């Protein structure tokens, strides 16, 4: 089987021939490419993009691709004394990026918020043999890798470092809270527009808002978490639980809507 990368969205499939279609692009949240599907093998992906990283001297290393492939999610290496965690994923990891991860202690746990941010999770599995933890309701999207630990509502990877299912954007959408660092890895539960505006969505490309019950469930999932920094699958910003709950209150105060609102309370 060969891994194939969809250049429109960045999703990998393992298949016996070049795929005819991409399940992420044809899903109701996304849009297929106007000029037809294009897929890259790992060798082609290596020739078309580089992996960049920041924060290698801190506890949170962010990896991304330049040029971007597909929707361009980031991967986050969390350096933890009980074993490193890797959450979400860049579309491709070059040999120097894999070498960096190796030099920083490899990966004990590998997890992701949802299929838009799996990236080349299969590469990290192949290289570092981590324990792959994916929420049970999203397993149908995991054809390019194998899950060792399907989890249900939550899974504590190390003391104070916890995967929590939020549902919503995807049935198995999951966030990761690092209590000691007051940091939330929020996946696609929220989106930042610069550092002053925030939004939430069911489908970004098609501008589909969240339902009220889904927003209420998001609020329940985060209401007891303390954090002052949020890393989404694509971005990072200073942001507290109150800032996100304010967005959810706005969502629940009227008809479902797509689009940003101010992140901080208006003066
Ligand atoms: Zn795609
Ligand atoms: Zn998404």
Measured from the alpha carbon of residue 174, the closest ligand is 2
- Rounded to the nearest angstrom, the distance between the alpha carbon of 181 and the centre of ligand 1 is 34
- Rounded to the nearest angstrom, the distance between the alpha carbon of 116 and the centre of ligand 2 is 5
Domain count, the chain: 1
Measured from the alpha carbon of residue 114, the closest ligand is 2
Predicted confidence at residue 19, as pLDDT, reads 97
In a domain, 267, yes or no: no
- Rounded to the nearest angstrom, the distance between the alpha carbon of 30 and the centre of ligand 1 is 8
Task: Show the 3-state SS of the chain.
Answer: CEEEEECCCCCEEEECCCCCCCHHHHCCCCCCCCCCCCEECHHHHHHHCEEEEECCCCCEEEEEEECCCCCCCCEEEECCCCCCEEECCCCCCCHHHHHHHHHCCCCCEEECCCHHHCCCHHHHHHHHCCEEEEEHHHHHHCCCCCCCEEECCEEEEECCEEEEECCCCCCCCEEEEECCCCEEEEECCCEEECCCEEECCCECCCCECCCHHHHHHHHHHHCCCCCCEEEECCCEEECCHHHHHHHHHHHHCCCCCCCCEECCCCC
pTM of the complete model: 0.97
In a domain, 177, yes or no: yes
- Rounded to the nearest angstrom, the distance between the alpha carbon of 204 and the centre of ligand 2 is 7
- Rounded to the nearest angstrom, the distance between the alpha carbon of 239 and the centre of ligand 1 is 30
Predicted confidence at residue 160, as pLDDT, reads 95
Predicted confidence at residue 264, as pLDDT, reads 87
In a domain, 133, yes or no: yes
In a domain, 199, yes or no: yes
Q: By the 8 A CB rule, do 186 and 176 touch?
A: no
Q: Which domain range does residue 212 map to? A: 2-148+155-262
Cis peptide before 22 (omega within 30 of 0): no
In a domain, 234, yes or no: yes
In a domain, 229, yes or no: yes
In a domain, 51, yes or no: yes
Measured from the alpha carbon of residue 4, the closest ligand is 1
- Could you tell me the CATH number of the domain that includes residue 92? 3.60.15.10
pLDDT tens for residues 12-22? 999 999 999 99
Q: Which residues of the chain have pLDDT under 70?
A: 267
Predicted confidence at residue 267, as pLDDT, reads 56
Predicted confidence at residue 195, as pLDDT, reads 87
- Rounded to the nearest angstrom, the distance between the alpha carbon of 204 and the centre of ligand 1 is 14
- Rounded to the nearest angstrom, the distance between the alpha carbon of 89 and the centre of ligand 1 is 15
- Rounded to the nearest angstrom, the distance between the alpha carbon of 180 and the centre of ligand 2 is 27
């Amino acid at each position: 089987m060969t891994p194939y990368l969809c250049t429109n969205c960045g999703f990998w499939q393992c298949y016996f021939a070049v795929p005819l279609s991409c399940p992420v692009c044809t899903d109701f949240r996304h849009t297929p490419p106007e000029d037809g599907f294009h897929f890259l093998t790992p060798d082609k992906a290596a020739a078309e993009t580089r992996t960049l990283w920041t924060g290698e001297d801190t506890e949170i290393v962010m990896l991304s691709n330049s040029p971007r492939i597909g929707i361009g999610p980031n991967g986050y290496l969390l350096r933890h004394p009980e074993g490193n965690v890797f959450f979400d994923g860049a579309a491709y990891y070059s040999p120097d990026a894999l070498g960096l991860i190796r030099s920083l202690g490899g990966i004990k746990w590998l997890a992701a918020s949802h299929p838009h941010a799996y990236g080349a999770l299969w590469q990290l599995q192949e290289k570092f043999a981590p324990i792959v933890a994916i929420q049970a309701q999203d397993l149908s999207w995991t054809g390019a890798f194998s899950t060792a630990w399907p989890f249900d509502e939550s899974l504590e990877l190390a003391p104070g470092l916890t995967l929590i299912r939020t549902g919503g954007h995807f049935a198995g959408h999951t966030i990761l809270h690092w209590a000691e660092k007051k940091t939330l890895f929020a996946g696609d539960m929220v989106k930042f527009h610069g550092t002053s505006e925030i939004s939430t969505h069911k489908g970004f490309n098609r501008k589909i808002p969240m339902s009220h019950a889904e927003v209420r469930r998001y609020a329940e999932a985060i209401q007891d978490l303390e954090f002052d920094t949020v890393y989404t699958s694509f971005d990072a910003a200073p942001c507290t639980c109150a800032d996100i709950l304010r967005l959810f209150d706005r969502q629940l105060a009227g008809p479902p809507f797509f689009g940003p609102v101010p992140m901080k309370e208006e003066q």
